[in-house]
Amino acid sequence: MDQPLPQLDQYVQTVMNDTPASAAVFFALETACVGCQLARFCTLADVAATYQISPDLLLGKIQATIRENLSIQPGGFHEKLSI
């Protein structure tokens, strides 16, 4: 089953658990989300509002990072392996 790209109503922890590469976006945007105890309660929309980041910018960067680091195949997302 295909896994959809994250949306604004998804929890930060879920996004980072499903796609660990997305943590780089939270670091780049200077949020404290990575390692935060509240990540399981905050949605991406909450992060955008709290850090005054455009929701479209946040979502776009996360989705772009996922697309760059994962390949979409009929079975869903599969992380690229670099050997």
Determine the Cα–Cα distance for residues 29 and 49; give it in Å rounded to an integer.
13
Tokens linked to 18: 């499903």
Q: Is residue 3 assigned to a domain?
A: no
Q: Is residue 5 assigned to a domain?
A: no
59-74: pLDDT as tens digits: 999 999 888 876 544 4
Q: Which residues pair with 76 in a beta bridge?
A: 73
Q: Which amino acid is at 62?
A: I
Q: Which amino acid is at 77?
A: F
21-36: pLDDT as tens digits: 999 999 999 999 999 9
CA of 8: how far to CAs of 3, 13, 46, 53, 62, in Å? Answer: 15, 13, 8, 12, 11
The pTM (predicted TM-score) of the whole model is: 0.79
Per-chain mean pLDDT for the chain: 85
Tell me which residue has tokens 């994250």: 6
Q: Is residue 25 assigned to a domain?
A: yes
H/E run at residue 14: helix 12-18
Q: Is residue 33 assigned to a domain?
A: yes
Q: Is residue 2 assigned to a domain?
A: no
